[in-house]
Structure 1
Amino acid sequence: MRIGIEAQRIFRENKHGMDYVVLQEILQLQKIDHENEYFVFVKPGPDRCVEESANVHVVEIGTPSYPLWEQWSLPRAVRKTGVDLLHCTSNTAPLYCDVPLILTLHDIIFLEPRDKNNKSLYQNMGWLYRRLVVPRILPHCKRIITVSDFERNNIISKLNIPNERMAMIYNGYNSWFKPIEGDETVYKKYMKDKGFLFFLGNTDPKKNTERTLIAFARYLEKSEIKRPLLMADIDQHYLDDIITRNNIDHIRAYLHLPGYIKNSDLPYIYNGAFAFLYTSLRESFGIPLLEAMACGTPVVTSNTSSMPEIGGKDAILINPENPDEIATALLRLENDPAFYESQRKIGLERSQLFSWENTAKQLLSLYEEVAKGLL
């Protein structure tokens, strides 16, 4: 087979969730499959994280905007390379394409009710683009992949996709997320001492940043230790609005805001953290949840969407809309050493059920299944 994989943004320096997923899928396919030929379609960027090999070719397409790249330049490159099928990996795909399509639809949040307070132009434009494109491409997809049973059932029920056209393939996590002893040089770029709380959030309302900060304020009121909170990817003006609106100015002295944290630093941060807060309102999978558990860091996570499925029934599952539950979970971890140690072990065992190698093997089987159906 000659397989095309759309990976538009993997060469950009500041990668995010879907970028990491397709990157790891490509690297694992390159490792396990030496029979098929792959053409990886990317936009030029500074981080050349995929090296060409005998059967993996990188095709750079320089069109500036995302929609034009995907709707115009990508189909032209597909025709030129003569691939047998195209796997689009980030929720959208070309409306017109000459070869069979496989689509990874991570979620359908763009079809669900939105928080009208979201002022991010980038997020709003992406939301509109997906609403326009996705319903039009789904009928043309040979298979639609998603990343959890929760999301699979959600897509089937809301979009009336036939069961036989759906596939569920779990994400994995990188092997360097593991317990690390003794190396303090990396996390000390961000925090002075170990034992901090860690939260990955942003301005997207689904990340539940406001309620998490309210919970942190209530934790500080009752904690004797008063651990600081490291927050990645938080806009200062957005944060200031939350603090002012909720009259929690006293938390400022305990907040550390380094901005974007590169993925290679995260294992050391998880290892330095006392606990990880993954308190989103909604996730289709939740790779950071796995990463923290694999490092032996207890996680406080939500009882909604995919998070109980990925974290498991023994995880600390809270109602993300109730700041008191979040604060109570943190205080229990702090005050109950036996409970803390049990959560470390639960996370380490649970994370072993997932790997990028398993993801790639299932993906390869799907490619072969689609190819056989085309003969």
Structure 2
Amino acid sequence: MKIGLDARGAIWYRGTGIGTYTYQLVKALYSIDKRNEYRFFWPGDEFQNLIPCKYEVFQSIELNKDRFWEEVRIPTRVAQEKIDLYHVPQNGIGLPKTKHCQQVATVHDLIPFIYPETSSSEYLLIFQNEMPRIMEQCDLIITVSEFSKRDIQRYFNLPDEKIAIIYEAAEDIYQPIEKNKAKNFVKQ
């Protein structure tokens, strides 16, 4: 299978949950999955310092301040590359309106719907306008917990078979440390 992934979040949102998720997903897919072929769509060439991969899997696409990425550049490249499956890991935001292949989005949560006061007005507007289309258009929604799955079903009435729960894992920098070393650290 030829799988395309919107990898912008790995650089744009690094240090946030979505950024870490995207970065680790790109890194893990590339290092673990030897059966499928990948294209990671990326803004610019910053990937060279972040992820040790062969450069040909990264498809650098020039960005504009408008919606040109989602509306023209990505659908064109997905069609040219003959992508079988396209994945948008940042809540589906940025999913092209033109559908050339199967589409998957990872929806981490619906915080902008549930607690709108915690989102910027710009993100809230994007979320409210785009999320119904994303839920309808995607062939599968990945989410990270039973709780988020229930929220998705409550707000969008999606059937069980359209939602897959894939639990997140901690980055490899998080490892148990020796008990006395931890106690001394806490004391200091």
> Which consecutive residues of structure 2, in runs of 5 or more, have no partner in the other structure?
none
Shift of 1:67: 3.8
Q: What secondary structure is seen at the aligned counterpart in 2 of 1:102?
A: strand
Give CA deviations for 1:290-334 in whole Å, capped at 9, x if unaligned. Answer: xxxxxxxxxxxxxxxxxxxxxxxxxxxxxxxxxxxxxxxxxxxxx
- Once residues 26 and 14 of structure 2 are traced to their aligned partners in structure 1, the CA distance between those partners, rounded to angstroms, is 18
- Once residues 115 and 134 of structure 2 are traced to their aligned partners in structure 1, the CA distance between those partners, rounded to angstroms, is 21
Give CA deviations for 1:138-194 in whole Å, capped at 9, x if unaligned. Answer: 22211111000110111112210011111000011122212457xxxxxxxxxxxx9
Contact map agreement 2:8 2:41 (CA 8 A) in 1: yes
**Identical columns (%):** 28
Contact map agreement 1:42 1:59 (CA 8 A) in 2: yes
Q: What secondary structure is seen at the aligned counterpart in 1 of 2:5?
A: strand
Shift of 1:66: 7.1
> Is 1:104–2:106 an aligned residue pair?
yes
TM-score, length basis structure 2: 0.83
Q: 1:11 to 1:73 in 2, by over 3 A?
A: same
TM-score, length basis structure 1: 0.44
Give CA deviations for 1:6-49 in whole Å, capped at 9, x if unaligned. Answer: 11132348532111102111211222211210000111254532
Give CA deviations for 1:231-259 in whole Å, capped at 9, x if unaligned. Answer: xxxxxxxxxxxxxxxxxxxxxxxxxxxxx
Q: What secondary structure is seen at the aligned counterpart in 1 of 2:9?
A: coil
Q: What secondary structure is seen at the aligned counterpart in 1 of 2:54?
A: coil
Q: Which residue of 2 aligns with 1:76?
A: 76
- After TM superposition, the structure 1 = structure 2 runs for residues 33-182 of structure 1, keeping only pairs within 5 Å, are 33-44=33-44, 46=46, 48=48, 49-53=50-54, 57-65=57-65, 67-91=67-91, 92=93, 93-115=95-117, 123-180=120-177
Give CA deviations for 1:48-81 in whole Å, capped at 9, x if unaligned. Answer: 3223339x70011121337432333221221221
- Once residues 79 and 85 of structure 2 are traced to their aligned partners in structure 1, the CA distance between those partners, rounded to angstroms, is 11
Contact map agreement 1:40 1:58 (CA 8 A) in 2: yes
Give CA deviations for 1:195-239 in whole Å, capped at 9, x if unaligned. Answer: 9xxxxxxxxxxxxxxxxxxxxxxxxxxxxxxxxxxxxxxxxxxxx
> Which consecutive residues of structure 1, in runs of 5 or more, have no partner in the other structure?
182-193, 196-270, 275-375
Q: What secondary structure is seen at the aligned counterpart in 1 of 2:10?
A: coil
Contact map agreement 1:13 1:46 (CA 8 A) in 2: no
Greater Rg over alpha carbons, structure: 1
Amino acid at match of 1:36: N
Amino acid at match of 1:163: D
